Amino acid sequence: MTSPEVAADRRVTFRLKAPKAAEVAVNASVGPTVARPPGSFKDQPGQWTMPMRKDADGVWSLTVGPLEPDVYRYNFVLDGVRVLDLANRNINAGGDVPWSYFDVPGAPPRFDETRDVAHGSVQIRTYRVSGRGILHKVAIYVPPGYEQSPERRYPVLYLFQGGGDAEEGWVRLGRVPQIQENLLAAGKAKPMLVVMPIGDDNGDATRPEAVAAFNHEILNDVIPLVERNNRVVAGPGGRAVAGRANGDT
């Protein structure tokens, strides 16, 4: 059984075999303009819950689209319980809610699709959060040629997740490596490290105490870790900061 199946016309079919289930839906980031079946509803910004239908073999399915070329996240709601699509190995784990995800390719390829260009790598480093006694991880993208240029130091972009996301969110769904490498190949960017810390604080990340704890962790743990273990331009002159805001679509 294939799920999700992306057709040539960019229509996408989700499938889940659950013969004993009473009700199954798919919760997906399909956007506001795609036709949805009756009974669909938006349960959070950018996410629509859409009912599926069961066939005689106990396979629930739903076809939506055509979808615009992009990366989409989704999970199933099986009798009220969110579950991953076990037929799909692409999973963005960690954070508040794990997601399955899939690509709708573009023609020509999207700016964030994998292309035949020089590729870098992603390091995952573990550190102890000072004053809290817990372990966190940070994802660090290093550009092509980093290992072959031991004398070179690179600027750093500290790229923050949305609240509740894991350190790999920008790598898997945000496609940071692909974007960086395509820009480098086109001569539209300079080589840099991209540091992606965890954005999950086990609760509302907008709470003042959560914001203060995040700031403390970045300044006292993440930046020193990067400057101690990677060849970077140390100090404020070698750093930049970016992040994302949630949208309501």
Please write the tens of the pLDDT for every residue from 169-220: 889 888 999 999 999 999 999 999 999 998 766 556 667 777 888 888 999 9
What percent of the chain lies above the pLDDT cut of 90?
63
Position 247 scores a pLDDT of 47
Please write the tens of the pLDDT for every residue from 112-123: 999 999 999 999
Question: Helices in the chain by DSSP H: which ranges?
Answer: 169-172, 176-185, 208-217, 223-229
Read out DSSP for 105-136? --SSPPTTS--SS---EEEEEEEEETTTTEEE
Enter the pTM of the model: 0.79
Please write the tens of the pLDDT for every residue from 103-157: 999 989 999 999 999 999 999 999 999 888 889 999 999 999 999 988 999 999 9
Mean pLDDT rounded to a whole number for the chain: 88
